[in-house]
Amino acid sequence: MGIPDDFAIIGHRGAMGHAPENTLASFRKAIDMGATMLELDVHLTKDGELVVIHDHELARTTTGSGLVEDMTLTEVRSFDAGITMGANYQGERVPTLQEVMELIDAQTALNIEIKAGRQIYPGIVSRLLEVISHYGLGDRVVISSFHRAYLREVVQKAPKIEVALLYAEALPQVLDEAIQERWQGLHPWYRIIDRDLIDGARRRGLSVRAWTVNQLPEMVSLVKLGVNGICTNFPDMLKSVVTELGLR
C-alpha cells in the first residue's frame, strides 16, 4: 500500500499536547511544528457567532461556566481559555472561526468539526458556509461531524466542499453509506482502521484520516497502512515520523 501524496499532519485542536486546546496559541504552535491541517471544533453562540471550542459547556477549558448556546460572543470571550495550562497562556480567549482563518497561512488546511449543543444547532451549517465563502477557503476545508444531518446539509448546499463522517465504532456498511451520501472522506477512531477499510476507501476514491493518535508506533503503522492523514495532539512527533519515512 502506497502512502498518499496528500498525507496530512493534522494538529488536533491545534497542538493541544503543548498549548491550550482550540486557542490561537495552540494553532500557531501546530503550524510552527509542521501541521499541514488544523482540526478544530465549532459551536454557535446565542447571537449566531461561530466559536472554536470543543465542549458545549465552558467549565472544562475556560474560567467560565454555562452553555455556549446560552451566551453571546462577548460573554464567551470574557473568560480565560489559557489558564488551564499555566500562566504562560493566561489571557487566551475562545477564538472565533474567523480569527483562525485569518491566522492560517496559504499551506494550511482546516478540518472543521461541527458540534451540537443541547441538540443540533439550527442554522450552524449556513453560517459556517457563509464564513468559508467569505475567506475563499472552500478548497482547503474539510467539514466533519458525528452528526449526519450536518453533513447532508453541507452536501446539499455546498457539494464542492469535502465532508467526512466521524465515527468511533466499526460500521460494516460505512463505505457504501459514504458513496450513497456523497461524502468524500471518513474520519474513524484510529483503533478501528484496518487494511480492508483502507483498500475499500481507495477503490471508492474516499479519504481516510485517523483520530486521535499520540504514540509513535501507532503513527508509523497508520502511515504505512496508507491513511490520508493523522490527527494528533503532537504534530511535532508526527512530523518527525513523516520526515523519517521520507514523505516530506
Catalytic residue numbers, as ranges: 12, 54
Q: What cell numbers appear for 129 in the block?
A: 458556509
Q: In whole angstroms, give the CA distance from residue 116 to residue 122.
A: 10
CA torsion through residues 50, 214, 104, 227, sign: negative
Q: 93, exposed or middle or buried, with CB in 10 Å at 0-12, 13-18, 19+?
A: middle
In this structure, are residues 180 and 165 in contact, taking their beta carbons and an 8 Å threshold?
A: no
Q: What cell numbers appear for 242 in the block?
A: 513523516
Q: Where are the beta strands (DSSP E) in the chain?
A: 8-12, 37-44, 50-52, 109-114, 141-145, 162-167, 185-188, 207-210, 229-232
Q: In whole angstroms, give the CA distance from residue 18 to residue 233.
A: 8
DSSP string for 166-205 = EESS--TTHHHHHHHHT--EEEEBGGG--HHHHHHHHHHT
In this structure, are residues 47 and 73 in contact, taking their beta carbons and an 8 Å threshold?
A: yes
Instruction: State the CB neighbour count (10 A cutoff) for residue 130.
Output: 10
